Structure 1
């Protein structure tokens, strides 16, 4: 398995909660991109691991 696969698994429970909260508070898709970079989480891992949050992000403005 590639090192970048499932990078979200390295996050602690507290970090996962912080990630989810930050995404829910984001005002734009660009803010979400910055959050994912901060947590070193790929788009694919985000969508695959957090489908409900990914749907929320689709409703945000660019």
Structure 2
């Protein structure tokens, strides 16, 4: 999911540099939404790991 965030961020930067404001804004908005989803899932998994006491098995 982090790869999608970086992809949309790069698209937003390139579109902004080329003058496509609408596309840049949309791509930046999608990247922002994906970032918050990624952070929420990260925090939920961290809390779950603390509550269950399990360590990752390799």
Structure having the higher helix fraction is 2
TM class, shorter-length: under 0.3
Q: Normalization by structure 1: what TM-score?
A: 0.25
Bigger RCO (CA 8 Å, 6+ sep): 1
Q: Normalization by structure 2: what TM-score?
A: 0.26
